[in-house]
Structures are given as structure tokens and as C-alpha cells.
Chains A and B, each alone.
Chain A
């Protein structure tokens, strides 16, 4: 997951103080009656970004998208595109197009006419429209299906028609609402890379809404993790995974062990965590430092833990326990280990060899070890 997270180039406009954001939300609040869908939201999206809004259903991510498309208006605050306030601009006058979750293909029009639909409503000349539609058909590999109606093509093809239609007008910003939700897993993974490819080819800014964290990690340059109408953290997929700013983000993205404990600073950047009686204290780095002893959550990813039957000789942290459960997933195995103090810890190891017999099995006494930089100290 972390490998695919890097975008390859040094495309980081959010770190450039001179960069001007394409989209700006300033203190945006959206209420539906008594319900606050978006709570005082401020965020910047830069041109050519692939920006993912990630959160559980009902967190407000779709509302953000619908406000960008113009189907909802903010109760308070301003949304601007290229510096222009979007509030008075109706959906049909915005240089923003949207790919709908249900695809919303027009059932009475064939693929060609679906893609041409938006172009016909612009001032574009007829032959230019035809050329543009052909270009879109090529981009999405749909040339063969141009004359088919939406019900005559498969789900994956419909998804590509929806994408072609929303890209045809060359919008400044493309919104994708759970674009791959209706596809099966294998097709979804292929399509994710296609999406990234098309985004790079066209240079369009993409904002994607998804509840699938793997999808967000795969496609996005930056991910905004949302909870109850607030953005909890905005960062690159790698930082979201390796340096979450809260227990919520750590827990939402990927698998993680969370151990509550009492941390005492031992130096500017090191703390020791007392988490259970009779257990050794966890020594871990804490780059921000702690000024005073306090209750914290120690979070560590299962793949950062080393599991062994022999006691490791050198490691910053060594805990002992018993294997309670094993989840064999083919490429990796997850061991559920019960510590002497009762806590359950998940440790993962890659199955790099084709072994006949597991080295570690149920009820085995095992040792779990990790370095002092493998985990994170989270105070919120």
C-alpha cells in the first residue's frame, strides 16, 4: 500500500507557499435542518491534484462534492474556484463536471450521444464535437461500442462511458462520486490504475469521494480523512498511513494495534509507555515530544511487529504472548497474540516461502518485538 502511495514525481503544490489553490473552501458549514453535514470546513485543492475525500458513509464527503457541483449551497462560508466565488453560479454554468455513483447514463441515448451530450450544449461546432467524442472514445477504449445503448454494455464499460462523458467538456475539475463502487474487485483494481493514467494524460484536477481506503491510497495524491462533517487529516497516502494524527485516522486506514497507556518523557523525543502491570514498558520515539506524563494511545501496524518462537536478543521492545488465532491470507498471515496481561496484539508476517508446515501455530508461546520507531504515540 505504501509503495503505490508515492506519485513518482515531486508534485507537491501544497508544500509550495506560492502555489494558488484551484478550489478553496473557507469556513464552509452546511446544515440540513438540525443536522450539520459539514462543520466549518476549510481546505485547499490545487490544480492537477488527485484529491480523495475518504470517510465512512454519512461523514459529509458527498455533500462536499455536491456543493462543488452546485447541487447544494453552503449555509455559511465561501467556496471559490480559481479565486471566483461559486455561490451564485448554477451547476450548468460551472467548469466542473461530475461522474455520478450510479453513472447516470442517459438510457435513451447511445454511447456516442451520451458523450456528446454536454458538448452539444456548448458553442462547439459540429465537426469539432465529433472529433472530441472520437478522442474520448479512444481514451476510454470504447470505439467498438459507440452505437450501443447503455443497457447493451457491461458494468465496466458503463463506468468508462460515464468517465468519458464527464471528461468530454475538458472541465477544470472532475468530481468522481464512488466511481468504482459498482465494479467487482479485480476490475476495480485495474480501473484504479486506468483512472490515474487518464488523470495524468488529461491534466485535469480530480476529486474523488470514496469509503474504500485502498482506492483512496492507490489513486490519490492527497487524502482527506473525514469524520462527522470535519476533515480530520489531509496528507499524502504515505503520511496518512505512517503518520496519522489521531486514533481515528490510524484506525480508519489499514489495520492497527492500539494500546492505551501512560507515557512518561525520558528525553526530548523519547517516551516510555506503561500499559499494563507486569509488562515491560514500551520505549518509543515521539518526535513532537511530551512535556508532562499523560495518557496516550500507542499505535503500531501489525506488519511492523516481528513474531518469533525464540526470544530475540536485540530489540528495543520485546513482549511475550500466546498465539490465539491465525488468519492465513495467502500472501500474508496475521497472528492474533494474547499477551500475559490480556491485551490482544495482531502481528503480520509475509509468507515469502512456500512452506509445508507453519513454524508458528495455535497455542504456541511466541515473542513479539519491534523497534523504538515502529509505533506512534497519539494523544488524540
Chain B
């Protein structure tokens, strides 16, 4: 290992502090015994206990998970289908327009997406609730899925699918038993991305939610406006923990898969 020069060490510390100091403070004060979020009054886990007693937060968490799960599944299906058309269908009239329109929501201000969805739901007389949030989240997260999946599909060797057809598969069977298993990692990361986007969305959800359907970000935001309570710190700490666990697991498994593949390949050449 090379030792870091003092300059690099300082930059690293400053950068990390800039990124993580706010979160560290948040996590520390979630274990604060006192009610004030700025004064340390000893270690305690009582806010975690009271958080699980708080029905409003628990309901919001449940709504968020439900919305996140369903909308990311829908977004994955639609996004994958869109990616296949863009990558595979070759040239057809309006292809450029179509692919541009798929990617436009990536750069569209969320306020505009939220507002237009709200206007649409009002126009068609749809009561705002869990369903409208699901639809809204599907709309904006499917383009992320299609970006992720299409980047994998571009690298996909189409002769694999032709080989499946050649060996007796119907086109759907070929997709199901060859293409899908091979692009599965991209589809899964697309799903995870959609799920994460849905979990932390505040703007679009506040446009499209109804009185009975508050998501966690909305709940936290409105609670904070009435004053920060240590319960929110506890809730945020749990969310940070879940996200960190997910990210670390994914990166560790993929790293292990790569080293294993490399080892096996070397073994194959040694055997040959």
C-alpha cells in the first residue's frame, strides 16, 4: 500500500466530511436521550421505540413500500419493453422522436411532471390516492429503467436469440429463456433504481397523493415543518441503514462473481 501524501489525505478527509458529516450528526442524535435535537443528553434508543408506536409514520412507511414495490415492478416491465423496441426494432418512422420522448422525463423538472399528472388526474376525474402515486412513479421511473436496460441490450449478442429461434423456440420463448436471463442483472438494477427513486420522491408524490395516502418523504417533510423530533432522526437512520446494506451487498456479490468468473476462465485455459 502506498501512503497518501498530506495533500491527498486532506482532500479525502474534507470531501468525505462534506458528504457524510450531516448524516453522521443525524445518526448520533437519533440515539439522544433528550428531546432537543441539538443538545446531547445521554445515550438512549427510546426514539426508536416510540417511532414504532407512531401509527402515522408506520402507515406512511407501509404506503411508501407498497408504492415503491408496485411502481418499480410496473416501471421495470414497461421500461424493458421500451428498451427492446429502441435497441432492436431498427429504423422505423418516428424512432428518433420516440426514443427522445422516452428519455425526456430524465431531464424534465419534477414539478412539471407532478403538475401535469395532477392536471390529468383531475381531468379524468380520478381520486388521488395510492393508485395515482403508483401511476406517477411508474411514469417517471420507467425511463431510468429503460436507460439501464438498453445499455445492456446494446452489448447483447443478437445471434444468441437467433440461435434460440434456430433451435426451435418461438420468439417469446427465445426472449424468456435466453434474452431475459442474460439481461437479468440490468433488469434487476433497473428495478432497484426505480424502487429507490420511488422511495425518496417528495415532489411528484405531493402532487399526486390524496389525504389518505401519505408517503414517508411527505410525512417527514411535513413533520419537520412542525419542528424536528428525534423520531425523525431514528427513522432516517433506519433508512440509511437499509440503503447502505443494499448497496454493500450488491457490490460485494458482484465483486465476488467477477473474481470467480476470472478464476474459472484461467482454469479453463490451463485445462485446454
Binding site for B on A (CB under 8 A): 69-71, 90-92, 96-98, 100-102, 104, 106-108, 117-118, 121-122, 148-149, 151-157, 165-166, 169
> Which of B27-35, B42-50, B55-63, B165-173 contacts the other chain?
B165-173
Report the separation of the CA atoms of residues A82 and B271 in the bound assembly, to the nearest whole angstrom: 44
Q: How far is the CB of B140 from chain A (nearest CB, A)?
A: 32
B268 in complex: contacting residue of A97, A117, A151, CB < 8 Å: A151
Residue among B163, B169, B178 facing the most chain A CB atoms (10 A cut-off): B163
A154 touches B271 (CB 8 A): yes
Known: A102-B157, A102-B159, A151-B261. A91 touches B166 (CB 8 A): yes
Residues of A within 8 A of B163 (CB): 98, 100, 104, 106, 165
**Which residue from A91, A97, A121 sits with its C-beta under 8 Å from B173?**
A121
Chain B contacts of A169 at CB under 8 A?
167-168
Tell me whether B228 is interfacial, beta carbon within 8 Å: no
Provide the bound-state CA to CA distance between A156 and B271, in Å.
Answer: 12
* B269 sits at the interface (CB 8 A): yes
A97–B162 alpha-carbon span in the complex (Å) = 11
Instruction: Give the shortest distance, in Å, between A344 (CB) and chain B (any CB).
Output: 44
CB-CB under 8 A from B271, the residues of chain A are 153-154
Residues of chain B touching chain A, judged by Cβ–Cβ distance below 8 Å, are: 157, 159-160, 162-170, 173, 178, 181-182, 261, 264-265, 267-269, 271-272
B159 to A107, Cβ gap below 8 A?
Answer: no
Asked if B157 contacts A152 (CB within 8 A), the reply is no
List 16 other contacts, CB 8 Å, given A118-B166, A121-B173. A70-B165, A70-B166, A92-B167, A100-B163, A104-B160, A104-B162, A108-B181, A121-B167, A122-B168, A152-B267, A154-B268, A154-B272, A165-B163, A165-B167, A166-B167, A169-B167
A93: min CB distance to chain B, Å: 8
Q: How far is A152 from B160 in the complex, measured between Cα atoms in Å?
A: 18
Tell me if B182 and A100 are in contact (CB < 8 A): no
Known pairs A92-B170, A97-B166, A102-B159; A152 contacts B181 (CB<8 A): no
Q: Which of B162, B167, B178, B271 has the most A CB atoms < 10 Å from its CB?
A: B167
Q: Flag if B268 contacts A152 (CB, 8 Å).
A: yes
A71–B264 Cα gap in the complex (Å)?
Answer: 34
With a CB–CB cut-off of 8 A, which chain A residues contact B160? 104, 106
Say whether B168 contacts A151, CB under 8 Å.
no
Residues in chain A near residue B164, CB distance under 8 A: 106, 117
3 shortest interchain CB distances as A-B pairs: A154-B272, A118-B167, A121-B168
Residues of A within 8 A of B173 (CB): 121
Q: Do B272 and A69 touch (CB < 8 A)?
A: no
Q: Which residues of B contact A106 (CB under 8 A)?
A: 160, 163-164, 178, 182
Residues of chain B with a CB closer than 8 A to A102's CB: 157, 159
Least Cβ–Cβ distance between A67 and chain B, in angstroms: 13
B-side contacts of A97, CB under 8 Å: 166-167
Provide the bound-state CA to CA distance between A117 and B170, in Å.
Answer: 13
